Structure 1
Amino acid sequence: MGKFRNLILIVVALFLVSGCLGEDKTITMKVASTAYTSHVAQTSAHPFLGAWGDELKPGMKAIAVSRDLIQKGLTHNTKVKIEGLSGEYVVKDKMNKRWTDKIDIYMGLDTKAAKEWGKREVTITFEKKEKK
């Protein structure tokens, strides 16, 4: 019985120590991805305006996120690494409420590039921001 008690104490101690170290803020997840452009037919009457009020400019590395991902820490101005793409992308737009677990990659005015991207599953990585 003494060995079992010692094992329980070790497990509890490890649990408490890991809680004191803080949680890992790096999040990696698989999401569906598509691409969009700044054409009125794909966005709104203001195709260069993101949902948070940011001006979108062709050439910038930006993404829109489904609103459920915002709740998971993928908030406005979060930097994101996207599997298969170089550099970091920044969250500058929100998607319609009907989408879940999805990102939309901004392609400026390049309709051909957006169509070539199509729809695919990707792995994204980002740092969860501390709540203020």
Structure 2
Amino acid sequence: MTFFKQDATIIGQENPKLDNHHYARDFLFKKIIYMKQMKLLREEIIPLSSKQSLLLYIIIACIFQFVLFFAPTLANQAVAQNNDLLENEVVITDSLINNEVLTKSETMDESIKRAFLPAHTDKEVEVLRTGFYTMTAYNSDPRQTDDTPCITANGFNVCEHGIEDTIAANFLRFGTKVRIPELFGDRVFVVRDRMNQRYTDRVDIWMLDYQDAKKFGVKIAKIEIIE
């Protein structure tokens, strides 16, 4: 009877040693699980942060390198563009100044011309009469003239004048101006000399060179008397 009660007491009551052992084992098991979880957490979270840090560092380094590499180039381009703008501005300014100076100069020239020079108007040449005449040529050769070969009948010095615009004609007064379009175009000749009295309707043209006068020979052409 007594033995039965003792067993009942043992079975019916909790064993403190057994509970402590169970609690310690459960605590150890939870600790192991917790440590594994922390290890996994460190393997997942901490390396991820390192990767992010490394990636961020690489990005910052690239940006910094890009800025350092292109900043001098951009600065040089800006300076070059600024210099080009300055040069263009100087060229444009010089051109404007030169144009303004030329315009003022031309205006002053025109004003001076109007103030001091007589007004020039193109006068249409009036032909008084025309006629066909025999023509020859001569020069200041003593064999063809008198003892003053350079001086014409009206006292004009053709040698000093040096221009082939003098003719000799007995039927026109001194100073008469004529043209010979068929031979000399619009050149104007002036009557300054006389021929032998027997040539009453002939024109003799003065020339600088003897060979030119000889080559001219004898021609018949129309004369326009304009003055």
Return the TM-score normalized by structure 2.
0.41
Mind listing any 5+ residue stretches in structure 2 that lack a counterpart?
1-125
Amino acid in structure 2 at the alignment position of 1:34: T
When Rg is computed on C-alpha atoms for both structures, the one with the higher figure is 2
2:154 — aligned with what? 52
Match of 2:177 among 52, 62, 79: 79
- 1:43-122 maps to which residues of 2 (within 5 A)? 43-57=145-159, 58-65=162-169, 67=170, 69=171, 74-82=172-180, 83-86=182-185, 87-108=187-208, 110-122=209-221
Moved over 3 A (4+): none
1:127 Cα shift? 2.9
Normalized per residue, the structure richer in helix is 2
Normalized per residue, the structure richer in strand is 1
1:25 Cα shift? 6.6
1:3 — aligned with what? none
Q: What is the total number of aligned residue pairs between the two structures?
A: 98
Q: 2:135·2:205 contact (CA, 8 Å) conserved in 1?
A: yes
Amino acid in structure 1 at the alignment position of 2:183: G
Percent identical among aligned pairs is: 35
Return the TM-score normalized by structure 1.
0.69
**Mapped partners of 2:173, 2:127: distance in 1:** 14
Mind listing any 5+ residue stretches in structure 1 that lack a counterpart?
1-23
Amino acid in structure 1 at the alignment position of 2:178: V
**Mapped partners of 1:116, 1:39: distance in 2:** 15
Q: 2:127·2:224 contact (CA, 8 Å) conserved in 1?
A: no
